[in-house]
A = this chain, B = another copy of it.
Amino acid sequence: MDNFSYCTPTKYVFGRGAELHAAEELKSLGLRNVLVCYGGGSVVRSGLLQRVLATLDEAGIKHVELGGIQPNPTDPKVREGIAIGRAEGIDGLLAVGGGSVIDTAKAIAAGVPYDGDFWDFWAGKATIRTALPVGVVLTIPAAGSEGSGNSVITLLDGMHKISLRTDFWLRPKFALMNPELTFTLPPEQTAAGIADMMAHIFERYFSLTESTEVTDRVAEGVLMAIMEEAPKVMADPSDYQARANIMWSGTLAHNGICGTGRREDWVSHAMEHEISAVYGVTHGAGLAVVFPAWMTFMAEHRPQRGAQLARRVLGVVPTGSDRDDALEGVARLRSFFSSLGLPVTMAQLGVDQPDIDLLVSKLHENKGERFGGYYEITPEVSAAIYRLAI
């Protein structure tokens, strides 16, 4: 187990009616004037936004709005939010939505008090020293941004999709999580969210750090719970208990508890980010394609962790060969993803002839010639993995 420092100060308020605590939580942080961020029309149509804003009005909390945040959020919306936030003198943000909305709110929170361009942080040119507090009303269990210190933003100029990770500043102060709000998610979005949260665990699970038994077991436990509950939410989108388990799993998958004490990987996310940036696919669906391809390569080149995953989580009966166990695990994972209606090939993702040279060159432009926690990714290796995804 490696040395680590771990702090998750986010207050989770979970259950029916959780969103109605928005004003109370903002007030307990001393906030009086917030920017409310949201995405497309669903939070408006469902009445959720109005319900939340009504609690703010009642509590005398001033608010301005920033709507229309798109999936795979980009820098112009962040800049728009920073400008509004400064003009209105906001002292905090409330994100009502999923990962894209939350990540945009986090970027605005870092950008408002910063003298330079917010992208400096994402480009690695500056370190966040302060940020406005962010609260969340979660509507999509997937990205885990409600409990993480991360934010993924794409710079439109050059389509650079970058994930920034902070220990503290970008962690939401509170997350209001009502599973009922997820009943109306379309099946493909529910499924993509499930792939996303599983991927967040895989990135932490595939590690060269040894002797991390307790972190392994926690990670395996959350994965088993997701695989148990996923078919239930697909079969009955209004199954409160299954939705609740999936929603909480999405948070645990990415708030760091599945990664304590070990070096993580994050190669598959980086590889998928390029696919999302170039082809505009849903992040979670892209991960359902990339991760099994990456695991297939690893089964041939470094099979130990995939084999443990296969045996402990995917029900593979040990054959005596790590490679064979790991490959059988990948087959079962693909079959599980398919059962949720997820794509498992680039073709199923709607990308018939992916430009692998372009993906590889953009990947290494962003991540460097060699990178990766579990296995060193060179351009040859990434090309091979992208080919396994076709």
Residues of chain A whose beta carbon lies under 8 Å from any beta carbon of chain B: 1-18, 210-222, 224-226, 228-229, 241-242, 244-245, 248-249, 252, 257, 260-261
Contact of A241 among B1, B8, B219 (CB under 8 A): B1
Query: How far does the Cβ of A17 sit from chain B's closest Cβ, in whole Å?
Result: 8
Which B residue sits closest to A223, measured CB to CB? B217
* C-alpha spacing A15/B260, complex, angstroms: 11
Contact of A211 among B14, B244, B249 (CB under 8 A): B244
Instruction: Write out the residue numbers on chain B whose beta carbons fall within 8 Å of the beta carbon of A213.
Output: 225, 228-229, 245
Contact of A14 among B12, B18, B261 (CB under 8 A): B261
* C-alpha spacing A326/B41, complex, angstroms: 51
Which B residue sits closest to A239, measured CB to CB? B211
* C-alpha spacing A7/B242, complex, angstroms: 23
Given contacts A213-B225, A214-B225, A217-B225, contact A12 B3 (CB under 8 A): no
Given contacts A213-B225, A221-B218, A244-B261, contact A13 B9 (CB under 8 A): no
**Pairwise interchain contact A224-B228, C-beta atoms closer than 8 A:** no
Which B residue sits closest to A13, measured CB to CB? B5
Residue among A7, A15, A215, A217 facing the most chain B CB atoms (10 A cut-off) = A217
* C-alpha spacing A261/B220, complex, angstroms: 19
Which B residue sits closest to A249, measured CB to CB? B214
**Pairwise interchain contact B5-A244, C-beta atoms closer than 8 A:** no
Given contacts A3-B15, A18-B3, A261-B14, contact A248 B8 (CB under 8 A): no
**Pairwise interchain contact A214-B7, C-beta atoms closer than 8 A:** no
**Pairwise interchain contact B6-A14, C-beta atoms closer than 8 A:** yes
Instruction: Write out the residue numbers on chain B whose beta carbons fall within 8 Å of the beta carbon of A252.
Output: 214, 218, 257
